[in-house]
Amino acid sequence: MAKKVTAEEARVLAKNVAGLDLPQDRVEVLATMYTDFLDGFETVRKIAAEVNFRPSVVGRSLVTGRTYTIGVVAASLTRPFVAEILDGIEEVASQRGYLVILASSKGDPEREMAIVQQFEDRPVDGVLLVASRVRSISNSLLEEMHIPKVSVDDQQAPDEAGSVFVDNTAATHAAIRFLVQLGHRRIGYLGDRNGYESNSLRHDGYRAALESLGMPYDPSLVVDGDSDAEGGMRAMEQLLAPSERPTAVVCFNDMTALGALAAIHQRHLRVPQDVSVVGFEDLPIAAFTQPPLTTVRQPRGPIGQIAADTLFAMVSGGKSDRVRALRGELIVRDSTAPPATDRHS
């Protein structure tokens, strides 16, 4: 049996909730009504627990007009970086009683558009685009269907309608500043040739850091790869070809850095004694390379969680920051050290 509501408690409720100053006889009637209501609620709760009752999603949908489903379209499901973002999204969705429909575009713009178009026949309350290649087109389709969307780790300029990403410029700036503090003056950048916005921003951070520290920007020290280890290896081989090679390189991502490490070892050079290497992402393998890789850690789980929270705020009509730039963290390991001339001075 629920706790009995006293006449004084009923008087306070009537005054604070409805602004009513009731006479004593009415207060006593109200107290009895409150007590009966609480008894009934407690009885229903106990019965629901005994029969293991669960609220019907279909029933909730009929009442609220929502599907309690969100769509997630990712460029790849195999990249560890994307997988951890998806974990963050799923965690928040599960807490809110939402089902996640996950699809991969495999980096194919036409496939991404086809997936987005399917949300017209398979209604969802919102969509998260992870590393979208054709965001502007996908956005237009979703706007026509009146479906809220948030872009995550976007490869294009931030979407004012909703974006969550790492501040690539600031993170790369911090990596260059760290290398300069170690004593490096000839620092290369291994980028990506696929036209990603993230590469442009990281390159901008590289150049801005050099100039702000009073060091010249040398285009010959910038070589693009293909975001993978093979491309990183080719790009690093090109940087090592001149007689005056760099003493340090910052890479577009960790996979590029893996290729750079291989190219340096093939030239019988040592890391970090001859060349220091910095990656970007902090993939799980980064701690187990030889030597362990210094890299910029992206908060992958929080990126997914914040993106999901942003989307749910849009779905419910609540207020939320639509554009969120998160800070990267430089993780210093054994692939970086002062240049050889500084260590021997």
Model confidence at 62, pLDDT cuts 50, 70, 90, reads very low
Residue range 197-216: average pLDDT? Answer: 94
Q: Dump pLDDT digits (tens) for 325-344.
A: 899 999 999 999 999 875 44
The overall average pLDDT reported for the chain is 85
> What is the spatial distance between Cα 190 and Cα 199, in angstroms, rounded to a whole number?
10
Per domain, the residue ranges of the chain are: 7-50, 60-165+300-326, 168-299+330-343
Minimum mean pLDDT range among 109-113, 317-321, 324-328: 317-321
The pLDDT score that the predictor gives to residue 264 is 98
CATH code for the structural domain at 168-299+330-343: 3.40.50.2300
Per-residue pLDDT at 3: 64
Does the domain made of 60-165+300-326 have the CATH classification 3.40.50.2300?
A: yes
pLDDT of residue 345: 40
- pLDDT confidence band for 158 (50 / 70 / 90): low
- Per-residue confidence (pLDDT) for residue 2, from 0 to 100: 55
The answer to whether domain 60-165+300-326 and domain 168-299+330-343 are alike in fold is yes
Mean pLDDT of the 231-252 span: 95
Start-to-end Cα distance in the chain: 83
Of residues 54 and 69, which shows the higher confidence score?
Answer: 69
Residue among 130, 127, 160 nearest 142 (CA) = 127
Tell me whether the omega of the peptide bond preceding residue 291 falls within 30 degrees of 0, making it cis.
yes
Q: Alpha carbon of 46 to those of 3, 33, 38, 52, 60: distances in Å?
A: 15, 20, 12, 10, 21
